[in-house]
Amino acid sequence: MGRATRELLSRWNFCSELLLCWRTRSLHGPCPVTTFGPKACMLQNPKTIMHIQDPASQRLTWNKPPKSVLVIKKIRDASLLQPFKELCMYLTEENNMIVYVEKKVLEDPAIANDENFGPVKKKFCTFREDYDDISNQIDFIICLGGDGTLLYASSLFQGSVPPVMAFHLGSLGFLTPFNFENFQSQVTQVIEGNAALVLRSRLKVKVVKEHREKTTVQNGIEENGVVSANLEKEVGKQIMQYQVLNEVVVDRGPSSYLSNVDVFLDGHLITTVQGDGVIVSTPTGSTAYAAAAGASMIHPNVPAIMITPICPHSLSFRPIVVPAGVELKIMLSPDARNTAWVSFDGRKRQEICHGDSISITTSCYPLPSICFRDPVSDWFESLAECLHWNVRKKQNNFTVEEEEF
């Protein structure tokens, strides 16, 4: 190597180090050096699996101006009626938006009997869950309530999900960063495309069941009248697929026996869970049931899947974090004494028998959640607020106990 070449490489290395020093607000670590010692280096792989943009720079933009919005309201909550009406009137009258709402929301007597709200209500487009497919008709989503409204929004879109703007009107929430006081200006910013995004990964779940009874499926509706969304039939097998935002929970159900399930990672048996069950969660779900079961809280931009046992019989089994690209499979252990039950974000609960399997991997369809500030500030502020809320709740409980004493 000539002197000129060495000087050029030295300058290049200095410039690279200088650029790395100037990087700020990135949630990723610095780009790793791929040369190791004087002779070793990383083999360049031409097959790029996934490119992750720096989360701090993820911004919302529109290819065309948004025209339709889905408004999701927590059902049977009287405190949300006025915010719901104000929001819908602002969207229809001020922004000329097409508003979609679930049919059962308008069946609330307080809305149905409000004559002043009648002209606005006539402009709504309604749908019924499990019957009407609105996935290609919605430009963005607004949720009014707690974290459950965001989970419900996710369940409505088994493919690509429109951007979701969640207002905090529930009791406690990690996923709802917006306050409703200034909703007009905040909604306007979203419509104009001036907002940050956090991509919340979802789980792609495939449940394969041994065919045990004869069912007739016509036009996607079974004999019992239940829509069979994402259901396929194979000879002797029934396959169902789900997109899950928080977690897949496998538990022992009503049985008094411990559940006994085998967990496979990319085809290899890693453990047998003997206990009340196991939770497979996304980073978003790490602050939900998994946190209550003793797992760590993971920032939603960390590409990972968490496996958390529920009251394990073995003291050596602790929560495990695995890369987002692996495929997990859960099956009943051959010597299990009873069946297990599985639910997906608390919904679609069903029994798992011997021979059935649950395959889980990271979905290619994340949920784009609109941030109040940025992915860093929003998550840590919600974490601090929720932890502080728990402290205040404990203090209030202690005060009540002291007064009673």
Cβ within 8 Å of residue 92, ≥6 positions away: 99, 120, 123
Whole-number Cα distances in Å, 334 to 148, 308, 323, 331, 361: 36, 21, 27, 9, 23
Mean pLDDT along residues 164-193: 88
State the pLDDT confidence band at 2, using cuts at 50, 70 and 90: low
Which range in 67-81, 218-232, 328-342 is most confidently predicted, on average pLDDT? 328-342
**Alpha carbons 145 and 73: distance in angstroms, whole number:** 6
Cβ within 8 Å of residue 53, ≥6 positions away: none
Look at residues 165, 183, 154 and name the one whose alpha carbon lies nearest to residue 85. Answer: 183
pLDDT over 70 for what percent of the chain? 75
Share of the chain residues as helix, strand and coil, in percent rounded to the nearest 5? 25, 30, 40
Computed on alpha carbons and rounded to an integer, the radius of gyration of the chain in Å comes to: 25
Q: Are 299 and 282 in contact (CB under 8 A)?
A: no
Between CA 305 and CA 134, with CA 227 as vertex, the angle to 5 degrees is 75
Which residues are identified as catalytic? 147
Helices 81-89 and 183-191 pack at an angle, to 10 degrees, of 50
Residue 254, classed as helix, strand or coil, is coil
Mean pLDDT along residues 302-316: 91
pLDDT over 90 for what percent of the chain? 54
State the pLDDT confidence band at 194, using cuts at 50, 70 and 90: confident
Mean pLDDT along residues 350-373: 94
Per-residue model confidence as pLDDT tens digits over 205-259: 999 998 765 544 444 444 344 444 455 555 578 999 999 999 999 999 999 999 9
Whole-number Cα distances in Å, 225 to 131, 210, 391: 11, 21, 47
Look at residues 303, 281, 243, 283 and name the one whose alpha carbon lies nearest to residue 383. Answer: 283
Q: In this predicted structure, which of 173-177, 238-242, 324-328 has the lowest mean pLDDT? A: 173-177
Look at residues 369, 383, 322, 379 and name the one whose alpha carbon lies nearest to residue 151. Answer: 369
Q: Are 167 and 143 in contact (CB under 8 A)?
A: yes
Beta bridge partners of 113: none
**Alpha carbons 211 and 225: distance in angstroms, whole number:** 19
Q: Are strands 140-145 and 68-73 parallel, antiparallel or unpaired?
A: parallel
Residue 102, classed as helix, strand or coil, is strand
Q: What is the largest CA-CA distance in the chain?
A: 86
Between CA 175 and CA 177, with CA 176 as vertex, the angle to 5 degrees is 110
Per-residue model confidence as pLDDT tens digits over 274-306: 999 999 999 999 999 999 999 999 999 899 999
Q: Exposure pattern of 281-304 as b/e (b: 16+ CB <10 Å)?
A: bbbbbbbbbbbebebebbbbbbbb
**pLDDT score of 45:** 64
Q: Are 163 and 93 in contact (CB under 8 A)?
A: no
Look at residues 118, 177, 115 and name the one whose alpha carbon lies nearest to residue 146. Answer: 177
